[in-house]
């Protein structure tokens, strides 16, 4: 005989979900996460931070600075804190306020260029515009600067890449192996020579750099361009060659070498130098212009026209490239 069950419930009960308790857990978890974000040096964040710079340079890069780092920066005569944090992110807004108070305590100046990103993903459409403003400020420094984002990784690396493309000497953020005194002599001479070069006082720029006998990539590059502008192509070629010995992938010395090859009527060799730059920095305008000129020298006018038009599409005010375009279109 089949078993019978006399106590089968007419209707199964639904499990009780304690929604208020779940909400409380979520709120507490979210609050703790927010507090952790406000403490970049906590054990939860510290493992992901970039290393602090071992030597303070003209432009130093790193993570969000705590008070101990402010003390070190002040001791090393840093003038500016360049913050890439974004006040549109609530936790970064609080961190900016904290560093501004700390900067006031140590008599430093904070410059904020909001570049919000999460895991290297840009959040707001003005990211590149703010990056350009940061680069423009750092190109014209009158004192050492510490540049930071939250972790000291993604945002600062983008700014560093753009500084290199903009012609700022790599030496500005590269620690010296010969000591602080030698480093600052080199940087100060570079800075002074760049000002003379910008004022088209090319001979004076070469004179300022003369005591620096090191084959530093930045020194040789600036001296090379000063020689080039004076029409001393053989000297310029040697400068760029020495610079590439010190740093074979340096884009500014590759570009300078490419233009020397053009002046020496070697457009194929010039193309190789410019192409090496474009492999590192696609769309770099100086290298693109050089490629276009090489095509022009080789009689590939259609290719030259295409390249010059691409450059002008991004920078319609480039009068030099406009002139090259007219040459390429001429019958």
pLDDT tens track for 6-22: 454 445 455 444 444 44
- Does residue 177 form part of some domain? no
- Does residue 113 form part of some domain? yes
Residue 292 above 50 pLDDT? yes
Task: Return the pLDDT at 88.
Answer: 94
Cα–Cα distance for residue pair 201/50, rounded to 1 Å: 40
Per-residue confidence band for 84, with pLDDT thresholds at 50, 70 and 90: very high
| DSSP secondary structure letters along 127-177 | HHHHHHHHHHHHHT-SS-EEEE-SSSSHHHHHHHHHHHHTT--GGGGS--S
Boundary residue ending a domain (123, 140, 172): 172
CATH number at residue 315: 1.25.40.10
Name 112's bridge partners: 83
Indicate if 120 and 201 belong to the same structural domain. Answer: no
Per-residue confidence band for 176, with pLDDT thresholds at 50, 70 and 90: confident
Indicate if 150 and 206 belong to the same structural domain. Answer: no
Indicate if 236 and 106 belong to the same structural domain. Answer: no
CATH number at residue 74: 3.90.190.10
When the pLDDT of each residue in the chain is averaged and rounded to a whole number, the result is: 85
In the predicted model, what is the mean pLDDT of residues 137-160? 92
Q: Which of 170-174, 316-320, 326-330 has the highest mean pLDDT?
A: 316-320
Q: Which of 20-29, 80-89, 245-254 has the highest mean pLDDT?
A: 80-89
Domain extent at residue 51: 47-172
In the predicted model, what is the mean pLDDT of residues 65-90? 93
In the predicted model, what is the mean pLDDT of residues 267-291? 93
Residue 4 above 80 pLDDT? no
- Does residue 35 form part of some domain? no
The answer to whether the CB of 60 falls within 8 A of the CB of 144 is yes
Write the CB contacts of 289 (distance below 8 Å, at least 6 apart in sequence): 307, 308, 311, 320, 321, 324
- Does residue 17 form part of some domain? no
Task: Return the pLDDT at 215.
Answer: 79
Per-residue confidence band for 237, with pLDDT thresholds at 50, 70 and 90: very high
pTM of the full structure: 0.71
Phi, psi of 108, deg, nearest 5: -110, 160
Task: Return the pLDDT at 34.
Answer: 44
Residue 30 above 60 pLDDT? no
pLDDT in tens, 151-161: 888 999 999 99
Indicate if 202 and 118 belong to the same structural domain. Answer: no
Residue 31 above 80 pLDDT? no
Boundary residue ending a domain (109, 141, 172): 172
Of the candidates 105, 58, 106, 103, which has an alpha carbon nearest to the alpha carbon of residue 85? 103
- Does residue 83 form part of some domain? yes
Number of domains in the chain: 2
In the predicted model, what is the mean pLDDT of residues 299-307? 94
Cα–Cα distance for residue pair 52/257, rounded to 1 Å: 35
Indicate if 186 and 160 belong to the same structural domain. Answer: no
In the predicted model, what is the mean pLDDT of residues 235-253? 93
The answer to whether the CB of 68 falls within 8 A of the CB of 151 is no
In the predicted model, what is the mean pLDDT of residues 121-135? 93
Bridge-based pairing of strands 117-118 and 121-122 is: antiparallel
Residue 244 above 70 pLDDT? yes
Task: Return the pLDDT at 246.
Answer: 87
Lowest mean pLDDT among 23-27, 148-152, 178-182: 23-27
In the predicted model, what is the mean pLDDT of residues 256-284? 94
């Amino acid at each position: 005989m089949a078993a019978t069950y006399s106590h089968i419930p007419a209707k199964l009960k639904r499990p009780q979900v304690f929604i208020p308790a779940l909400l409380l857990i979520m709120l507490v978890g979210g609050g703790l996460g927010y507090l952790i974000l406000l403490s970049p040096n906590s054990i939860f964040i510290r493992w992901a931070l970039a290393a602090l710079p071992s030597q303070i340079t003209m432009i130093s890069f790193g993570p969000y600075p705590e008070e101990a780092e402010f003390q070190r920066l002040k001791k090393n005569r840093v003038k500016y804190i360049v913050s890439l944090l974004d006040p549109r992110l609530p936790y970064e807004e609080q961190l900016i306020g904290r560093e501004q108070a700390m900067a006031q305590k140590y008599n430093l100046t904070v410059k904020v260029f909001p570049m919000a990103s999460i895991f290297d993903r840009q959040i707001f459409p003005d990211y590149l515009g703010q990056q350009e403003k940061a680069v423009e400020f750092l190109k014209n420094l009158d004192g050492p600067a510490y540049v930071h984002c939250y972790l000291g990784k993604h945002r600062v690396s983008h700014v560093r890449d753009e500084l290199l493309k903009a012609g700022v000497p790599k030496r500005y953020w590269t620690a010296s192996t010969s000591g602080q005194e030698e480093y600052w002599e080199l940087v100060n001479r570079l800075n002074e020579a760049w000002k003379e070069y910008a004022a088209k006082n090319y001979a004076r720029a070469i004179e300022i750099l003369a005591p620096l006998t090191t084959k530093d990539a930045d020194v040789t590059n600036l001296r090379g361009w000063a020689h080039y502008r004076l029409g001393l192509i053989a000297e310029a070629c040697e400068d760029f060659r020495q610079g590439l010995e010190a740093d074979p992938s340096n884009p500014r010395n590759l570009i300078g070498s490419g233009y020397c090859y053009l002046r020496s009527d070697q457009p194929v060799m010039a193309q190789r130098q410019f192409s090496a730059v474009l492999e590192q920095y696609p769309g770099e305008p100086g290298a693109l212009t050089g490629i276009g000129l090489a095509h022009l020298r080789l009689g590939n006018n259609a290719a030259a026209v295409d390249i010059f038009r691409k450059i002008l599409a991004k920078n319609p005010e480039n009068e030099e490239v406009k002139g090259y375009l007219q040459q390429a279109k001429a019958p």
